[in-house]
Amino acid sequence: MPHICPNMRRVGFSLLRHHISFPPSSPTVHSGTRACCLRLGVFARHRSSVAGHSWQRESHVTSALGSHAPDLTGPEQRLLSKLYGGLIGGQRASLAESITLVETQHARKKELAQVLLQRVLAYRREQESRNGGKPVAFRVGLSGPPGAGKSTFIEVVGKMLTGRGHKVSVLAVDPSSCTTGGSLMGDKTRMTELSRDMSAFIRPSPASGTLGGVTRTTNEAIVLCEGAGYDIVLVETVGVGQSEFAVADMVDMFVLLIPPAGGDELQGIKRGIIERADLVVVTKSDGDLLVPARRIQAEYTSALKLLRRQSKSWNPEVVRASSHTSEGVPEVWAKMESYRDAMLACGELQGRRRAQQKVWMWSLIQENALLHFQNHPGVREALPHLEERVTKGAISPGLAADLLLKAFSSPSP
């Protein structure tokens, strides 16, 4: 049972009191977060210069956190130096290894991952300040129903962009891996050409975990990709469950891909997610599918007019493209660039990123607060009995919740 600081308890207590919904029980234990923050100070004091960037420089950022930090061992320091040096040097193997580190469930490695991440964040901040405070990479989320043509589209756009000198990374968020451990997205060979391109980096979804856990690691993987010099980060997800909302909360632009099919196939597309779309792309706009594609485009254009606008500077549009003929693909990218430029110019993109940091932080708190609540000895002891009485109707859910929260707020035995 990890030590839970009183503040953490208060947060968990107050979240529960305000009926904020938590994800279901999670195997992701994040107990090392605070310890690893503390450890940053130690890492900062490890003065090795990697790729011309001295660790010393960040010490002012982290010294306030560092006084109780236990030391990193020599091998740990060497591992982190190697990963960081390789990562900012743009080595794909170091990037892949760093993402594996942030995906780990191993408590100590999780701490190391946070140390690395903090360093990469500091490096990225330096780059952004050199870039006039503007983000160094453009993050685009792409979602759509199974078979919408997402991976084919990403392959074609990705190749076009690397051909123009960009470095493109593709991260996948697979909701099925969170529930079943299986995969909606990973079982077939995807983006074969792009995966051979040295300017591209493709990373499948973590194999398992809660959506909260996958969201955290994807957010962290984005930071690592940007540190490794990828100026375009594409995050792909299937429009199933809540994963598309999670992805919309971690990108600069959210794009919905819709196949030119009618009726049932489109019913799975949630109205809520259409509201979040900055751009809708009707895919497979070629051959026999051209006519239905035009019809779907017209239908969605009318539907979008009825929705509330998300931005003062951007009106979501519906465009058509074919990944087979490439027709419309450069135009789709041009729209994405116009969006980025407009949102950067008015500062909304930067504002969106700031808000996302908070969403990300709160989703971590929710996940961990619930975990601490469930692991509390008093709660564990009272839970089976109270659950039984609630299901039998002997006591109200409200009273049971109050009793459990009371157990949680009393000191551990």
Ligand X SMILES: Nc1nc2c(ncn2[C@@H]2O[C@H](COP(=O)(O)OP(=O)(O)OP(=O)(O)O)[C@@H](O)[C@H]2O)c(=O)[nH]1
Give whichever of 72 and 296 is closer to ligand X, judged by the CB atom.
296
Tokens of 152: 């084919």
- Say whether residue 294 binds ligand X (CB under 6 A): no
Amino acid letter for position 222: I
| Member of 80, 238, 296, 379 binding ligand X (CB under 6 A) | 238
CB of 325 to ligand X, least distance (A): 7
- Say whether residue 240 binds ligand X (CB under 6 A): no
CB of 218 to ligand X, least distance (A): 17
Whether the Cβ atoms of residue 235 and residue 247 lie closer than 8 Å to each other: yes
Longest dimension (CA), the chain: 70
Distance CA(166)–CA(200), nearest Å, equals 9
- Say whether residue 143 binds ligand X (CB under 6 A): no
Whether the Cβ atoms of residue 141 and residue 149 lie closer than 8 Å to each other: no
- Say whether residue 98 binds ligand X (CB under 6 A): no
- Say whether residue 150 binds ligand X (CB under 6 A): yes
- Say whether residue 282 binds ligand X (CB under 6 A): no
Q: Which residues pair with 141 in a beta bridge?
A: 235, 254
Give whichever of 152 and 313 is closer to ligand X, judged by the CB atom.
152
| Member of 144, 175, 229, 316 binding ligand X (CB under 6 A) | 144
Tokens of 354: 């700031």
Tokens of 261: 């099919």
| Member of 322, 363, 366, 368 binding ligand X (CB under 6 A) | 322
Give whichever of 58 and 286 is closer to ligand X, judged by the CB atom.
286
Give whichever of 81 and 283 is closer to ligand X, judged by the CB atom.
283
Distance of CA 144 to the CA centre of its chain: 17
Q: 324 φ, ψ to 5°?
A: -75, -45
Angle at the Cα of 27 from the Cα atoms of 120 and 383, rounded to 5 degrees = 135
CB of 182 to ligand X, least distance (A): 13
| Member of 323, 363, 366, 368 binding ligand X (CB under 6 A) | 323
| Member of 27, 70, 147, 262 binding ligand X (CB under 6 A) | 147
- Say whether residue 182 binds ligand X (CB under 6 A): no
| Member of 139, 159, 203, 284 binding ligand X (CB under 6 A) | 284
Tokens of 108: 């100590």
Choices 58-66, 73-81, 86-94, 286-294 (CB under 6 A): range interacting with ligand X: 286-294
| Count, residues near ligand X per rule CB under 6 A | 18
For residue 75, give every residue at least 6 positions away whose Cβ sits within 8 Å of its Cβ, in sequence order, or none.
Answer: none
- Say whether residue 151 binds ligand X (CB under 6 A): yes
Angle at the Cα of 211 from the Cα atoms of 210 and 215, rounded to 5 degrees = 120
- Say whether residue 372 binds ligand X (CB under 6 A): no
Tokens of 321: 């493209």
Whether the Cβ atoms of residue 153 and residue 283 lie closer than 8 Å to each other: yes
- Say whether residue 260 binds ligand X (CB under 6 A): no
How many alpha carbons fall within 13 Å on the CB side of residue 249?
Answer: 20
Contact footprint for ligand X (CB under 6 A): 144, 146-152, 185, 238, 283-284, 286-287, 289, 322-324
